[in-house]
Structure 1
Amino acid sequence: MSTRTGKFWHRLVRRGVIRFWAQAAREAADTDVRVLRRRRNVARKLRSHLDTLISIADGRLALPIIGSNTFPKPHGTDWAWRPTVWRDSLPSKGRVAVQTKEGLGEEVTLFHDCSISELTLRQLRNTRAKDLAPFGLRMDVFRFDGSFLSLVIDFPKEALQGLDRKFLIRMDTIVEMEKPLEIFARFNIKHGPNTEQIVRELPLHEEDIMVEFDLAYSKLNEKRIERAWVDLIFEGPEMNQVILRDVTFSRRPRAEM
């Protein structure tokens, strides 16, 4: 039987089932009680399966759509981006005993100076109703004998097109932690032999965790921009679990002074 023929018969049977139960419901008040009892028993079994299907479908269809780049953007935004780890399903979901310069995907890399790594990274599916990002990134830190730990997010080339000192770079994130710690975001932009750096502390006590990097205060050579990235620097990360539910970036021209 061809696929097209199979689909035709499937639709025909489905329509027949729906018509049967619709008619049975209309006739229930006058149906013979013996027939009604049998139909009730079958309907109860059918309802159990339908309730399960509806519950699972509602849960799955309520999740953020994989590949989504949707998130609130400030007025005037001309470029916006959610990195792949938070947007698409990765072939490799996680790493254990993560060594320095290892990471997930093509854009996210972990840097540290631990002699023995007790660090893990894992992509997880976001399931909360308020999540816009399809995925989150979980980092578990056990014993930590290093002096620094940072997560580097490399910007795509599109972010650098037309970039100059008139722009603001904005970062929004959603962070969950087992216990309090400090997180700093350092925006780096390489131009020629030099690298400009702008550091902001994430306001983890606020509901909306957002920082902006104003390039007007940099010494950026706009004609020699080569690459840009953000370091998320974790202070005192030992024996902690940090989940970055979402990380997004956008840029817009700053208001004229």
Structure 2
Amino acid sequence: MVTGAAQGIGAAIARQLRASGAEVAAIDIDAAGMASLMEEGISLHQGDLASRAGVVSVMQDVLGQYGHIDGLVTSAGGVCGQVGRLIEEIGEGDWHAIFKVNVDAAMWCAQAVAPHMKERRSGRIITISSGAGLRPSLTGIQAYASAKHALVGLTRQLALELGPFGITVNSVAPGFILSNPSTEKQWQAFGPERQKAVIGGIHMRRLGQPQDIANAVTFLASPQADWISGQILSVDGGHA
């Protein structure tokens, strides 16, 4: 089960898991954006994950088709079209919108799958956090940095709680990746000098690609990662 699968990182994760042999349920509020995934044998499930009720509805749909869920990847998130602004300019709506898609959605999805995984005494939960969850955010968006730090905390807490049931919980923390219109907008807003500085601060001297994150998620979902839990895997090309 991969959330935020309509574009960018989420779509790459869904495709890579499917290519690796998994049955994949793609979930997003944007049904049209997911349409191409169906051609690759991925089932599509539309839903708004920002509310608990929305998650329950989607979960019933997925369970109705598959009967159980072995793994959950919470890729839904992002900056909701926002750019960095002074703290004095931030309104309640701006703040809560980012928390809903980055933290609330992950929490309600994990809550929904946990009972089924506990019953089977196995499972994988993989959140997609960010380098912004480990240090100040390059975006300059206060809510985004705060939400991703919260998601890292949720990941570690769930790893502790669910580990005795055979469930691993980890997070992949991407560096700066041009994966959708929002990240393209952020990148352009940096301007040439800051873009140069960002790339200069990456050991590999390049921005990441969605496939880089999909590869890491596929490893954490695999049997080879059976004794890895509570970890935040930075996939950022090396950060100076």
TM-score of the pair, normalised by structure 1: 0.26
Q: Which has the higher strand share?
A: 1
Whichever of the two has the greater Rg, that structure is 1
